[in-house]
């Protein structure tokens, strides 16, 4: 493992974590979607770099899929949904941005503390890669928990999935078939979720999931 | 050969339930099923006895059933053969009794399908040679007996009894499952053969002992795990009560002996302390509880608890001697315990049959509503009296022999090197003596109030003797009780093979060659017992007294009013009652054992109301152990109930929180 390959891989997956953290404090939907597209683009770069240093051409396909679907198709589709739903207003975060960011940083520290000792036998690149991937997954989960708007929950879910792909690309050996099927299932999930979003809006005049809870009679 | 005969008998038994019932009409199915089971049990009993007396090497058999790579292992060694004999003797007697008794069942189809399966399951537990078959059969035994307990499910209290029984049975099986998991080790050696040769570290051995005491002990009914037993045993039809009390608890004792003596490896000396203390507490508390009961079947069920305590005392003594390599003492104590296993299965079945006969004849279980049955049911009364004398350990009956042997083992306890045991064993001996005395008092009450005096209710007046099959079963067991008491040497000799197997080669000296059929466990210099001479002496003296009284006394029949405590009203209710009988003992022990409270309600001067005496008893063990557990479970479930109605985001947050917690644990633990 020569220095440059390691440094670039490190840089790319590190920036993925950084963008995940950026996702946490976006309080407008458009900027959230833009940052998410950015996230996917960096994922594509990271996977492509892995393809290059591992000499694994099928990973280029993975990178291309990530770039095309997650970098372009999904953000554009979500943009149009937000436009048609007419929700360009501010997102309410539940916990508040400061504590969320602090918690996110704590999660990154936690995943590094967990992953580095566990993967001691693996080489340094894989170690770093897995630690970053876990932090991306945890940050995505955190986003799903803290957000109240259905669209931003979808974004959280998709960024979580990006973390999984990063881990798989670093671990040398996710077969292409699996990658493609995941990509398609994510796309189908997007379609289903989109349909649901419109259904929810038709029914309740909002996509704030808080209203769903109220409808179930759980909260006044 | 013997083993395959046994397994075929089991299969025939299990099929009897499934195949005969649909073929026969509703009311004719009973005798056919019970008859088939009687035949199968007799064959199995004969086969086991033949194996036991021949002293042949253990037989093994593997059937391609159960877990694919394991198969089902069966083994018939002397210990299993003895317990197969006990189970099938009890099963045969109960089936014979049920041919008659089962006719009076209101809903026989609630009993018939499960009865053969219950017996077959008990046999399979005893024959099992791997953990899978053992646990499967154990659970089958629990579930089928639960179904039998629930046969009268509309009767008051049965549903609660069944529920508590099911919970305790599940708990017991879980403990046994964990014990076998520890014994099998990380390689999963689930055959008993592998466990016999495996060695466990001492800490795990201790854990196995505790789990087995919890698992097998809860089924046997040791204090404080006995709470289900006096509820569940009486709730079943009487022939099933006899099986559960007389036989199923013995299968639980078998589980303890099998695991502690042959599978868990060499015992530590303080295991004996645990087993002895449990045995002593179980014996004394069981009989004290029994004394307070006025329900005939429940009284018998509490006596089962007491007798399990006596058996545990024998096993504890055997452990104490065995760890100190005093093999003759171990052989003596084991012989005593196993002899008591046989005895208890005989007289407890007999007594439950008797109570079933009373229940059939009068529809009453409460002794306060009975009385005077000796004139209406002479055979039942005579056999019940023999059972009472046997369970009270009166010579020349069988109960005396096994308790006498236990005392012989207690008397050689000064040979033990540990001071803890030297002090403990005499104390346990005192507890055993106390429980024997209290048992005698209890059965004077049970027999006297039920069969003597004048009938207290019209039901008792209208009672008639039961059918010949039931009488035959009771007479059969009564004769066996007398035979085992008069000829104990034969039983001790039959047990020597089992004892040799458990103590690695030592047993009591052969008894059958001794003159006058004496029983000499150690040496003539120490002690000997002769049931035959005692029987002859008792018969002779009592005949002499009877004859001389007849000769010397007046022949004229004189009728006079019975003494009625000065009350002119000769109502049967003024007779001495079960409550009156228990009162002195309740006054002595009730305060600390039951927190007994008596309250006398005196009417105002001039009031016509009767004075009343209210007695309140509380079960300490239920209050201290089970009620808090019940409360804690109710509290937790109440709190956890809110988890059913969270929002999606809260569920996500819970998952997230759990993940973070686990990851932090992982990070800190490394």
Residues B500 and B78 sit within 8 Å (Cβ to Cβ): yes
In chain A, what residues touch B645 (CB-CB under 8 Å)? 218
Select from B452, B461, B307 the least CA-distant residue to B384. B452
* Residue range B415-428: mean pLDDT, rounded: 90
- Check whether B4 has a pLDDT greater than 60: yes
| Other CB atoms within 10 Å distance of the CB of residue B32 | 17
Residues B94 and B128 sit within 8 Å (Cβ to Cβ): no
ipTM over the 0.90 cut-off: no
- Check whether B122 has a pLDDT greater than 60: yes
| Other CB atoms within 10 Å distance of the CB of residue A124 | 13
| Other CB atoms within 10 Å distance of the CB of residue B331 | 27
Residue B592 CB-half CA count within 13 A: 3
**Exposure of B533 by Cβ count < 10 A (0-12 exposed, 13-18 middle, 19+ buried)?**
middle
Question: Residue A98: its pLDDT value, please?
Answer: 86
Per-block mean pLDDT, blocks of 10 residues, chain A (220 long): 80 92 86 91 90 83 86 88 74 74 92 84 79 90 83 84 82 64 70 70 68 63
Residues B295 and B366 sit within 8 Å (Cβ to Cβ): yes
CB contact under 8 A, A145 and B656: yes
- Residue whose pair of structure tokens reads 């041919």 in the numeric block: B99
* Residue range B184-199: mean pLDDT, rounded: 85
pLDDT, one tens digit per residue, over B300-353 is 999 999 999 999 999 999 999 999 988 889 999 999 999 999 999 999 999 999
* Residue range B15-32: mean pLDDT, rounded: 74
Higher local confidence (pLDDT), B187 or B546: B546
B561 φψ region: left (φ > 0), alpha (ψ -120 to 50), beta (else): beta
Residues B495 and B338 sit within 8 Å (Cβ to Cβ): yes
Question: Residue B187: its pLDDT value, please?
Answer: 80
In chain B, what residues touch A141 (CB-CB under 8 Å)? 652, 655-656, 659
| Other CB atoms within 10 Å distance of the CB of residue B441 | 17
Considering only B39-43, B186-190, B476-480, which range has the smallest mean pLDDT? Answer: B186-190
* Residue range B415-423: mean pLDDT, rounded: 88
A113 touching chain B per CB within 8 A: yes
Chain A residue whose CA is closest to B666: A114
Mean pLDDT for chain B?
A: 89
Question: Residue A219: its pLDDT value, please?
Answer: 53
Distance spanning both ends of chain A, measured CA to CA: 59
CB contact under 8 A, A142 and B670: no
Select from B324, B637, B347 the least CA-distant residue to B476. B347
Residues B212 and B176 sit within 8 Å (Cβ to Cβ): yes
d(CA B222, CA B306): 9
Q: Which of B645, B653, B655 sits opposite A218 (nearest CB)?
A: B645
Chain B residue whose CA is closest to A211: B647
Question: Residue A109: its pLDDT value, please?
Answer: 92
d(CA A29, CA A160): 18
Q: Which of A110, A209, A219 sits opposite B663 (nearest CB)?
A: A110
Interface residues from chain B to A (CB-CB < 8 Å): 645-649, 652-653, 655-656, 659-660, 663-664, 666-667, 670
Confidence of residue B451 (pLDDT cuts 50, 70, 90): very high
Question: Residue B314: its pLDDT value, please?
Answer: 95
**Biggest alpha carbon–alpha carbon distance for chain B:** 99
Q: Which pair of tokens denotes residue B559?
A: 């009728």
d(CA A23, CA A26): 6
Q: Which pair of tokens denotes residue B493?
A: 């000799």
| Other CB atoms within 10 Å distance of the CB of residue B536 | 14
Considering only A179-183, B102-106, B200-204, B414-418, which range has the smallest mean pLDDT? Answer: A179-183
In chain A, what residues touch B643 (CB-CB under 8 Å)? none
The sign of the torsion formed by the CA atoms of B605, B609, B613, B614 equals negative
Q: Which of A107, A142, A209 sits opposite B649 (nearest CB)?
A: A209
Higher local confidence (pLDDT), B105 or B358: B358
Residue B62 dihedral angles phi and psi, to the nearest 5°:
-120, 125
CB contact under 8 A, B660 and A110: yes
A-B contacts at Cβ under 8 angstroms = 41
Chain A residue whose CA is closest to B646: A218
CB contact under 8 A, B649 and A117: no
CB contact under 8 A, A218 and B652: no
Q: From residue B132, how far is each of B138, B173, B252, B636 by CA, in Å?
A: 10, 12, 16, 33
- Check whether B361 has a pLDDT greater than 60: yes
Query: What DSSP assignment string belongs to B358-414?
Result: HHHHHS--BGGG---HHHH-HHHHHHHHHHHHHHTT-TTSHHHHHHHHHHHHHHTGG
B224's CB contacts (< 8 A; 6+ apart) are B621, B625
DSSP state of B522: S
């Amino acid at each position: 493992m020569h220095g440059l390959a390691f440094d670039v891989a490190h840089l790319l997956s590190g920036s993925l974590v950084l963008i995940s953290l950026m996702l946490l404090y976006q309080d407008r939907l458009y900027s959230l979607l833009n940052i998410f597209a950015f996230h996917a683009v960096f994922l594509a770069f990271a996977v492509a770099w892995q393809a290059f240093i591992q000499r694994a051409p099928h990973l280029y396909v993975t990178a291309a899929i990530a770039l095309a679907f997650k970098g372009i198709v999904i953000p554009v589709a979500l943009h149009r949904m937000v436009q048609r739903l007419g929700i360009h207003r501010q997102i309410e975060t539940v916990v508040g941005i400061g504590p969320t960011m602090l918690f996110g940083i704590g999660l990154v520290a936690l995943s590094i503390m967990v992953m580095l000792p566990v993967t001691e036998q693996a080489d340094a690149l894989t170690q770093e890669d897995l630690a970053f991937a876990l932090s991306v997954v945890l940050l995505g989960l955190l986003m799903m928990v803290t957000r109240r708007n259905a669209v931003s929950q979808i974004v959280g879910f998709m960024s979580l999935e990006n973390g999984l792909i990063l881990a798989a690309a670093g671990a040398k050996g996710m077969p292409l078939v699996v990658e493609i099927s995941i990509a398609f299932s994510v796309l189908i999930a997007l379609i289903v979720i989109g349909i649901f979003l419109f259904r929810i809006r038709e029914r309740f005049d909002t996509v704030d999931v808080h209203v769903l809870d109220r409808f179930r009679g759980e909260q006044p | 050969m013997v083993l395959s005969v046994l397994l075929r008998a089991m299969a025939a038994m299990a099929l009897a339930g499934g195949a005969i019932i649909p073929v026969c009409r509703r009311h004719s199915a009973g005798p056919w099923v019970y008859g088939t089971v009687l035949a199968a049990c007799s064959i199995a009993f004969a086969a086991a006895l033949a194996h036991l007396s021949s002293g042949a090497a253990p037989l093994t058999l593997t059937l391609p059933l159960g877990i694919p790579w394991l198969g089902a292992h069966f083994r018939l060694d002397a210990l299993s053969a003895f317990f197969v004999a006990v189970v099938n003797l009890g099963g045969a007697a109960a089936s014979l009794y049920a041919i008659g008794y089962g006719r009076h069942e209101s809903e026989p189809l609630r009993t018939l399908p499960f009865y053969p399966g219950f017996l077959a399951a008990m046999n399979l537990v005893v024959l099992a040679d791997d953990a899978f078959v053992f646990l499967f059969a154990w659970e089958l035994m629990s579930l089928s007996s639960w179904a039998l307990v629930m046969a009268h499910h509309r009767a008051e209290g049965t549903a609660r009894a069944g529920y508590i029984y099911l919970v305790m049975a599940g708990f017991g099986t879980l403990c046994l499952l964990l014990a076998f998991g520890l014994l099998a080790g990380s390689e999963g050696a689930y055959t008993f053969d592998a466990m016999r040769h495996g060695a466990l570290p001492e800490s795990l051995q201790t854990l196995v002992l505790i789990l087995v005491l919890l698992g097998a002990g809860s089924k046997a009914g040791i204090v404080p795990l006995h709470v289900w037993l006096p509820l569940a045993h009486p709730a079943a039809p009487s022939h099933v009560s006899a099986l559960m009390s007389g036989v199923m608890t013995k299968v639980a004792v078998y589980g303890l002996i099998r695991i502690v003596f042959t599978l868990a490896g060499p015992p530590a000396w303080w295991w004996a302390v645990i087993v002895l203390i449990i045995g002593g507490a179980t014996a004394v508390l069981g009989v004290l509880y029994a004394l307070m009961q006025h329900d005939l079947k429940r009284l018998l069920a509490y006596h089962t608890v007491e007798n399990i305590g006596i058996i545990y005392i024998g096993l504890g003594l055997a452990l104490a001697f065995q760890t100190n390599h005093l093999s003759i003492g171990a052989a003596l104590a084991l012989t005593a315990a196993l002899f008591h296993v046989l005895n208890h299965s005989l007289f407890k079945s007999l007594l439950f049959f008797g109570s079933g006969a009373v229940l059939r004849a009068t529809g009453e279980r409460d002794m306060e509503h009975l009385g005077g049955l000796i004139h209406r049911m002479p055979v039942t009364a005579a056999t019940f009296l023999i059972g009472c004398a046997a369970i009270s350990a009166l010579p020349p009956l069988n109960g005396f022999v096994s308790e006498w042997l236990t005392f012989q083992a207690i008397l050689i306890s000064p040979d033990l090197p540990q001071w803890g045991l030297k002090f403990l064993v005499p104390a346990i001996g005192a507890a055993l003596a106390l429980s024997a005395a209290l048992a005698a008092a209890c059965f004077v009450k049970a027999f006297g109030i039920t069969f003597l005096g004048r009938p207290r209710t019209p039901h008792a007046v209208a009672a008639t003797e039961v059918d010949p099959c039931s009488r035959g079963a009771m007479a059969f067991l009564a004769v066996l009780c007398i035979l085992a008491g008069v000829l104990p040497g034969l039983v001790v000799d039959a047990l020597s093979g089992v004892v040799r197997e458990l103590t690695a080669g030592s047993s009591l000296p052969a008894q059958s060659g001794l003159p006058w059929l004496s029983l000499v466990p150690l040496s003539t210099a120490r002690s000997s017992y002769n049931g035959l001479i005692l029987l002859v002496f008792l018969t002779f003296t009592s005949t002499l007294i009877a004859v001389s009284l007849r000769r010397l006394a007046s022949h004229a029949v004189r009728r006079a009013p019975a003494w009625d405590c000065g009350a002119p009203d000769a109502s049967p209710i003024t007779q001495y009652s079960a409550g009156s009988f228990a009162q002195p003992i309740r006054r002595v022990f009730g305060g600390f054992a039951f927190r007994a409270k008596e309250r006398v309600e005196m009417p105002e001067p001039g009031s016509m109301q009767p004075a009343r005496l209210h007695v309140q008893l509380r079960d300490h063990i239920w209050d201290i152990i089970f009620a808090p557990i019940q409360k804690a479970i109710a509290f937790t479930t109440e709190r956890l109930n809110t988890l059913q109605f969270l929002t999606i985001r809260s569920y996500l947050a819970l998952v997230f929180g759990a993940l973070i917690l686990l990851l932090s644990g992982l990070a800190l633990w490394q």
